[in-house]
Amino acid sequence: MTTLYVDGDACPVREEVFRVATRRNLPVVVVSNGARAARPSGLPSVRDVLVAEGADAADDWIVENIVRGDVCITADIPLAARCLERGARALSPRGRPWTTDNIGGALAGREIAQGRRDAGLMTGGPAPQTRDDRSRFLTALDAAVEAARRDLLAPPPRPWVSFE
């Protein structure tokens, strides 16, 4: 069964995830660290996991538990890349599916932006979530869940073998 993993630290689309999960009867795991614990949902299908404080503690927990056929909702590009490596799907809160085709460019862009921030050339965070962003996210989450369910039905990918 597909499980939705939510990077719970400041996730702006938790309620949307809960709505889709309830409609599709999917389990949800919201993972937060001790510094910024997410408010418990109170829903029976939602498991709240509180990990120790630490820069990547929540990310590490998700990566250790996510498997092929699951979906991670995160704005954290390195976490999305790690989930893809595990064979899972990843989706940004704005509805952008992270794929093996686009994650490399996103990681590179993140490094460039970090360099600009470190040099004092950029300030501020992401723009607030709009109604269009939420709508796009809901559509993308439905598509990601369907794709993840197909992943579960397909045979696992064969490991790459070199014949050199």
Tens digit of pLDDT for each residue in 127-142?
888 999 999 999 999 9
- Whose CA is closest to 86, among 104, 64, 105, 57? 64
| Nearest 10 degrees: Cα torsion 17, 18, 24, 29 | 80
Domain that holds residue 135: 4-99+128-153
What per-residue confidence (pLDDT) applies to 54?
78
pLDDT mean for each 10 residues of the chain (164 residues)? 91 94 96 73 90 87 97 94 95 94 71 65 74 95 96 80 59
Chain CA centroid to CA 1, Å = 17
- Residue 122 included in any domain: no
Please name every residue paired with 72 in a beta bridge, in sequence order, or none if there are none.
5, 90
Helix (H, G, I), strand (E, B) or coil at 109: helix
- Residue 143 included in any domain: yes
Percent of the chain with pLDDT over 70: 80
Q: What is the CATH number of the domain that holds 146?
A: 3.40.50
When divided into structural domains, the chain yields a total of 1
From residue 150, give the alpha-carbon distance in Å to each of 48, 52, 54, 55, 121: 26, 34, 35, 33, 44
Residue type, 57: A
